[in-house]
Amino acid sequence: MARSGHNRRIRLDMELFDLITWLGTIFTIVGLGLGAMLWAYRGAGSVDVLFDQPVAADIARDAQSVWQLGLAAFAGGDFRQAKEQFSRVVRSHPDCGAAYHNLGLVHANLRQDDDAVACLLQAGDRYAAADDGAALGLVKQHLSALRVRKEAMVAAREHA
């Protein structure tokens, strides 16, 4: 009788060990997968600098400090921080074409091309309303650069 209890205890210990081993393996695989996805989103894999200079503009006085933070982040290659700062300017000054323009450039550098196009179109609308032909022409050049990059990516996939 004592022997049967001893065997049952060994079997439970083995089942517990197997369960812990199995769970450890699963959590390791999931952790590695999540780590790779996070690296791709936050790491160098998600940046492709198409535009190395933001646009300059006269900004409302109350947005100057945030604007300058965005410009500094852009110049330093911290496009996520630049995105946050230019988004703040857009929220506080929704009629500012330059804020949408720089936000579009940042999205493009982060490979968020759909968002980049949307922001650049918003910038174009604001520049057109302000009758700023030079800025509107620059937006068209930037949209064209995005189109060329997209066409190159499609061509590369087709040849792969």
The DSSP-derived string for 4-18 is HHHHHHHHHHHHHHH
Kindly give, in sequence order, each residue whose CB lies less than 8 Å from that of residue 62, ignoring residues fewer than 6 positions away: 92
Per-residue pLDDT band for 47 (boundaries 50, 70, 90) equals confident
Q: pTM for the complete prediction?
A: 0.73
Q: What is the pLDDT of residues 101-158, one digit of tens each?
A: 999 999 999 999 999 999 999 999 999 999 999 999 999 999 999 999 999 989 988 9
- Quote the radius of gyration of the chain (alpha carbons, Å): 26
Q: What angle do CA 12, 17, 22 make, to 5 degrees?
A: 125
Which CATH fold topology does 61-159 show?
1.25.40
Per-residue pLDDT band for 44 (boundaries 50, 70, 90) equals very low
- The whole-angstrom separation of Cα 92 and Cα 129 is 19
Closest CA to 102 of 142, 160, 150, 47: 142
- The whole-angstrom separation of Cα 8 and Cα 3 is 9
Q: Where are the domains of the chain?
A: 2-45, 61-159
